Amino acid sequence: MGFFRSLTRLPGPTGFGFSSTSEQVTEGVDASKQTVIVTGGSSGIGAETARVMALRGAHVIIGARNMEAANVVKENIQQSIPSAKVDVSELELSSQKSVRAFADRFIERNLPLNVLINNAGVMNCPYKLSEDGIEMQFATNHLGHFLLTNLLLEKMKTTAKESGIEGRIVNLSSVAHIGTYREGIRFDKLNDKASYNDKMAYGQSKLANILHANELARRLKEEGANVTANSVHPGLIETNLMRHSVAFITALRAVSGFMWKTVPQGAATSCYVALNPNMKGVTGKYFADCNEEKATAKARDEALAKKLWEFSEQLVNSTKAK
């Protein structure tokens, strides 16, 4: 159905589709009582997501590695939306020390937290280990967000309980989750340089994003928390994320030009899942073009999701004392 909507531009069951924009899918939403964190909000769809959250009245905190670019985004938002409440805070997701510092700074401010949009990421980069000794795409795209979410989860649950407003966690995944390694997640070969494939490593990290959201949704539902967790595929959008794959992206665009989106279209699904009233109570699902889609069998594997959770906990706990 996702390919069909991309081809025809017809809306799906939600009334939105491939061509819908971030403003359209949040039209009429009042988020003035909400606080939203957007990671990777210094460019691309992260910056657009932050802008639209602010447009709908939310207090937006942009977590970004590039503080100079993030401050430019903040200034641009405030110039176009004089009433906007936007803050920036340094966040390097590949560094667990940086993730913990970001979370500490946020919690110290004693702000509520209604929405967490795990948007930041790297794509198809050459083999490299993070400062914590973990393959860079897995460390940035999955593990940094896993840790950040866990550190902020009690704040989200408390906010939801006290405000009566459902908390929402949105993980940006990708259709690229279909292109992972044969075993899905290479628990025993995560850092294996000899067999590293940049595109499969990216697919692995994007599969992890879905599995993380699914297992988180299961746990939150089990304890009765008023917080949902979902994953989204934003679509094909040419942004800084693709800086390591210029030749590949050029070839891909030549054969799939009709499937590429503008930045406002690319941010639409994140914004829809984060704010649209129709998403109330929906959790543990995967969305594309603002409609629920069926992810791969590996992405729906509950045992794999639980194993990834335990594996991720071990990785973040092993660096905590450093």
Distance CA(302)–CA(318), nearest Å, equals 24
Instruction: Output the DSSP codes for 178-212.
Output: GGSBTTBS-TTSTT-STT--HHHHHHHHHHHHHHH
Distance CA(286)–CA(300), nearest Å, equals 10
As a whole number, the mean pLDDT across the chain is 92
Residue whose entry in the numeric block shows the structure tokens 């984060």: 274
Spatial contact of 132 and 140, defined as CB atoms under 8 Å apart: no
Instruction: For residues 271-281, give the mean pLDDT.
Output: 98
- The pTM score is 0.92
Q: Which uninterrupted H or E stretch holds 59?
A: strand 59-64
Q: Superfamily for 2-320?
A: NAD(P)-binding Rossmann-like Domain (3.40.50.720)
Instruction: Output the DSSP codes for 239-250.
Output: SGGGTT-HHHHH
Which residues are the active-site residues? 196
Distance CA(281)–CA(167), nearest Å, equals 10
Instruction: For residues 138-148, give the mean pLDDT.
Output: 98
Q: Where are the alpha helices (DSSP H) in the chain?
A: 2-8, 22-25, 44-55, 67-80, 96-108, 136-137, 144-163, 198-223, 246-256, 263-266, 268-275, 302-320
pLDDT tens digits, one per residue of 192-240: 999 999 999 999 999 999 999 999 999 999 999 999 999 999 988 865 4
Q: Would you state the pLDDT for residue 252?
A: 44
Distance CA(115)–CA(34), nearest Å, equals 8
- With a CB cutoff of 8 Å and minimum separation 6, the contacts of 15 are none
Distance CA(145)–CA(171), nearest Å, equals 8
Whether the predicted pLDDT of 2 surpasses 80: no
Distance CA(312)–CA(322), nearest Å, equals 17
Distance CA(209)–CA(271), nearest Å, equals 17
Whether the predicted pLDDT of 260 surpasses 90: no
Whether the predicted pLDDT of 150 surpasses 70: yes
**Of the candidate ranges 1-10, 265-274, 284-293, 302-311, the one whose mean pLDDT is the lowest:** 1-10
307: closest CA among 175, 241, 214, 233?
A: 214
Distance CA(137)–CA(309), nearest Å, equals 17
Q: Token pair for residue 202?
A: 């990216």
Whether the predicted pLDDT of 241 surpasses 70: no
